[in-house]
Amino acid sequence: MRKKPKNRFINDIEKDDIWSVFKVMSDFVKGFEELKELGPSITVFGSARSSQDAPYYKQTRELCHTLCSNGYNIITGGGGGIMEAANRGAYECGECESIGLNIALPQEQEPNHYTTTELGFDYFFARKVMLVKYSFTYIIFPGGFGTMDELFEALTLMQTKKISQVKIILVGTKYWNPLYDFIKNSMLNEGVISKEDLDLIYLSDNLDEIADEVDKLLITHTNNLKGCGQDKGEYYESLVEFISNRKK
């Protein structure tokens, strides 16, 4: 017969669980308070392992400099690699916010030094909410398990209409094409996704083309907000003003 755990052990677990609730709340409150007044923002995902000499690092830096010049804030996970490149491009531009939402990990997640706003999180899921909630689209460069998790999280939220249905931009067609072929030829053929779900993905290596697509996606996002009755708040008004100013 298995021995029952000691009451002291059970009590310790219960206390840890209770305190965890407050830590989770702290993560969310911190994110909501710091990010609630952001205007149009884009979240960039990608590998933390990319070196500064890597082609994708250079592309990320260049693209985010352009996007920041066009008035878009850049949000990343705050670490190295692609995240650093995205923050660096925005920081060097200096026109908008360069935001890093960091998390403590045993390896690979030292904060980069190219952020104007840096927040630290204890929980992946709270951090992920902030990375998704305050952006109207997501640009994803090649990456590992974490990047794949973020990609399919965003796709699922769009597919189920939990967030605005725009497009996720995948940069690096050589890297992403095998995955896209699997989605198109295996998942679609098996009937586990719909043909319309393929429209959520936009692949390109042309940085100018991507910058133009971002402008279109902002309009789509703004129209989506109006279509679902979310056109009364400050956020919606800031998007309308931003689009109006860009047209002048």
Q: What is the CATH number of the domain that holds 114?
A: 3.40.50.450
* CA end-to-end distance (rounded Å), the chain: 78
Instruction: Summarize pLDDT for 21-53 with one digit per residue, the tens.
Output: 778 888 888 888 888 888 899 999 999 999 999
In a domain, 3, yes or no: no
| Tally of domains within the chain | 1
Residues 6+ apart with CB under 8 A from 46: 56, 60, 81, 82, 83, 85, 86, 140, 141, 142, 143, 147
In a domain, 153, yes or no: yes
Among 48, 44, 103, residue whose Cα is nearest residue 68: 44
109: confidence class by pLDDT, cuts 50, 70, 90: low
Helix (H, G, I), strand (E, B) or coil at 2: coil
In a domain, 6, yes or no: no
- Identify any residues that bridge with 45 across adjacent strands, giving them in sequence order: 140
Please state, in angstroms and rounded to a whole number, the distance separating the CA atoms of residues 51 and 101: 20
Percent of the chain surpassing pLDDT 70: 90
Sign of CA dihedral 36, 42, 45, 46: negative
Instruction: Summarize pLDDT for 137-163 with one digit per residue, the tens.
Output: 999 999 999 999 999 999 999 999 999
- Give the domain extent around 79: 15-247
Please state, in angstroms and rounded to a whole number, the distance separating the CA atoms of residues 128 and 126: 5
Task: State the average pLDDT over residues 193-221.
Answer: 97
66: confidence class by pLDDT, cuts 50, 70, 90: very high
In a domain, 188, yes or no: yes
In a domain, 170, yes or no: yes
Residue 11 has pLDDT above 90, yes or no: no
Residue 105 has pLDDT above 90, yes or no: no
So what's the pLDDT on residue 160? 94
Residue 110 has pLDDT above 80, yes or no: no
Task: State the average pLDDT over residues 63-78.
Answer: 97
Please state, in angstroms and rounded to a whole number, the distance separating the CA atoms of residues 102 and 150: 15
What's 206's DSSP letter? -
Among 194, 237, 192, 242, residue whose Cα is nearest residue 217: 242
Please state, in angstroms and rounded to a whole number, the distance separating the CA atoms of residues 149 and 138: 13
Higher pLDDT, 124 or 107: 124
So what's the pLDDT on residue 12? 47
Please state, in angstroms and rounded to a whole number, the distance separating the CA atoms of residues 16 and 7: 14
> Average per-residue pLDDT in the chain?
89
